[in-house]
Amino acid sequence: MNGTELTEAERDVAEAYAGSWWLFVVVGILWLLLGFMILSYRPSSISITVVFIALVFAMGAASLFAIAFVAHGGWRIVAAIGGVIAILAAIGALVWPSPTVLIVSEFVAWYLLIRGLFDVVVALMNTHLRGWWITLLAGIVAIALGAWAIGNPDRSVLLLVTILGVFSLFHGVGDLVSGFQYRRLKKELASA
């Protein structure tokens, strides 16, 4: 991407993302750590699973707030609202852990589906940036995992934890690679 080819509005957006590249790297590392932690654990109770679910919702909120921090206009509002909803879902999972695995997995499934759609839309709107396809891939994986969880009537705790772990890993890789792409973009914009 050449900085001279951008309109003023596109340059402002590119500078916002490039200036906060480190935020995406930090969030990506946290997603990866959470994914490895979840996949290395074999749950024996619903209460531990609910804690994992709350952590995934909280990390989702952190990711959306990171996007809101750098986004402009209506996308900032959409990302902030999504972050607030994810925080409320995390709190709800911890405060009300008594639902069955079916109810909890429905929350997770719909979250993955909606978050995946959000990631796909954001990626497709930013195809002019390098690495946009990584966010697209992470969004498609989230949609697939969400649809799989919604369509599987025989949900188990192990399936739910596996879905959360795989989603966390893909999301972490996407954020991490995007962060380094934004770092390179920062250097390109500075030299332009």
Q: What is the pLDDT of residues 109-158, one digit of tens each?
A: 888 888 899 889 988 988 877 778 888 988 998 899 888 877 765 666 77
Residue range 171-189, pLDDT digits in tens: 898 889 888 888 988 888 8
Element (H, E) at 96: none
pLDDT confidence of residue 80:
93
What mean pLDDT is predicted for residues 87-92? 89
| Distances 96 to 49, 59, 70, 81 between C-alpha atoms, Å | 13, 19, 33, 22
pLDDT confidence of residue 45:
67
What mean pLDDT is predicted for residues 45-65? 83
Query: By the 8 A CB rule, do 134 and 174 touch?
Result: yes
pLDDT confidence of residue 84:
95
Task: List the domain boundaries for the chain.
Answer: 9-191
More confident: 39 or 107: 39
Instruction: Find the largest Cα–Cα distance for the chain.
Output: 57
What mean pLDDT is predicted for residues 73-94? 89
Other CB atoms within a 10 A radius of the CB of residue 160 amount to: 24
pTM: 0.70
Going 105 to 174 to 70 to 76, the CA torsion angle's sign is negative
